[in-house]
Homo-oligomer: A and B are copies of this chain.
C-alpha cells in the first residue's frame, strides 16, 4: 500500500495540459486560459474626464466662456484657449489645450460663461491615457481560471474570443450487476447507481467534461468493451469492482485490452482499493464502489488530475483549520477522512463535530456533511478543543 501523497504524485506524473480551444467571450467564465491575454488597445485611449463638468486651463482668470460640449463618444473638435471652457461628461475626451476638469457642481453658469467657486489643481479629475492599461500589457496570465472580472477585463482589452484549455474528457464507468440507472426497473437485490452521477457532476464542477458510459455488468467483455470505446478520453474513471474479490473484474478486464497497472491499493480510509494505470493514452483511475470512498478519492485524486490537465498546478485540496468538538482516538496506518459538520464560533473560528458513524456506505451522511477531518497515518489521539485540519466541501466545489 502506498501513501495518499505518493498516489497523487504518481497520478499527476506525466499528465500534460490539453490542447487549446477558442471560445467566445460569453462562454469563457470558469475556463482556464491557454495563453497570456494581452491588451489590444490602450485604456483610456486618450485623456478623459473622470467627472461631469468643464474642461478648462487651470491658471486662467474668471469667468470662462463655454465654447462647446463634448458628450462621451463625441470628442470636441477644437481647442480650449485662454479663458475658455468645454462642457464634458464622465468619459468624455479632454479637448486639446485644457489641463483640468472642474466639477459641474462647483460652477455657476450665466448664459455662455461659467464662474468656478473652487481652486483648480492642474490635472484634476482627468484620467490619463493608459491609466488603466496600455496596448500590449498583460491582462490575464496563461493558466488562470477566469472569473467574471477577468471576462470584463478581456472585453475591455478588445478580445471577442478567448483561447482556453479544452475541457478534459473524463469517461465514467459504473460496474456491477446490481446497479441500475435512476428510474429504470430494479431487479432483486438491485440498487440505483449514484456514484457515477455524483462523479459526473463533480467532474463538471472541476472543469472537466463528463462522459457517462452505460453501466457495465460484472462481465469481463462488457468492461473491456466500454473501456475500448473511450480511447479519445483523457481519463477513464471506474467505480466498483476495483478490489480483490472474485467479482472484482475491472483489473482483469482492462488488462485484456492493454492496461498498464501502476498501483491498486492506498493507505487511506475510506477508499483502500484505488487503482491507477494507463490504457494507451488514457489514464485509468479505478475508484472504490462505496459511495463515500469513491467521492473522497475523487476529491483527493481526480480533482488534481483534472486541474493538471487544465494547466493548473493540481495541488492537493487545501485544508483549513477548525476546532475539534469531540476527541478522537489514535489513528492506525491509514490516512483517515472523518465526515463532520462545521459550525462557526462567535470569534469566526470554525468548529468541527465528527459524525458518530463513519460507514463508507452512508451516502446520506456524506451529502449532509460539511467537511472531512484529516487524520494522518499513526496520528496520536486528540482531545476536544484541539485544532485539526479539515477539507471543506463547499470551498472545494465538492
Residues of A with Cβ closer than 8 Å to B? 25-26, 28-30, 41, 43-46, 50, 52, 69-75, 87, 89-93, 104, 127, 131-133, 139-140, 146-161, 176-179, 181-183, 186-195, 197-202, 204-205, 212, 218, 243-247, 289-291, 295, 320-321, 348, 359, 361-367, 393-395, 397-398
Contacts and interface: CB of A to CB of B under 8 A. Distances in A.
B71 A139 contact: no
Contacts of A87: 246
B395 A156 contact: no
List the 9 closest A-B pairs by CB distance, nearest first.
A152-B198, A73-B178, A73-B177, A156-B194, A160-B183, A148-B201, A155-B197, A148-B202, A151-B201
Contacts of A156: 191-192, 194, 291, 363
B152 A201 contact: yes
A161 B394 CA distance: 23
Contacts of A197: 25-26, 151-152, 154-155
B133 A158 contact: no
Given A73-B179, A158-B183, A190-B73, A361 B127 contact: yes
Nearest to A104: B245
Contacts of A218: 71-73
Contacts of A92: 189
A294 to B, nearest CB: 9
A80 to B, nearest CB: 16
A73 B240 CA distance: 13
A91 B398 CA distance: 25
B393 A149 contact: yes
Contact of A295 (B152, B195, B199, B320): B152
B367 A158 contact: no
Contacts of A132: 361-365
Nearest to A348: B321
A190 B202 CA distance: 43
Given A91-B191, A157-B192, 10 more contacts: A52-B245, A70-B189, A73-B177, A89-B247, A91-B289, A147-B205, A149-B367, A151-B200, A155-B197, A156-B291
A249 to B, nearest CB: 10
A386 to B, nearest CB: 15
Contacts of A157: 192
Contacts of A212: 26
A149 B368 CA distance: 9
Among A155, A204, A348, A393, the most chain B Cβ lie within 10 Å of the Cβ of: A155
A182 B153 contact: no
A24 to B, nearest CB: 10
Contact of A366 (B149, B244, B362): B149
A201 B29 contact: yes
Contacts of A146: 201
Contacts of A178: 72-74, 91
26 contacts: A30-B205, A43-B363, A44-B361, A45-B189, A72-B177, A72-B218, A73-B179, A90-B243, A91-B178, A132-B364, A139-B364, A147-B201, A147-B205, A147-B394, A149-B398, A150-B367, A151-B200, A152-B195, A152-B199, A152-B367, A153-B194, A153-B363, A153-B364, A158-B186, A159-B182, A395-B395
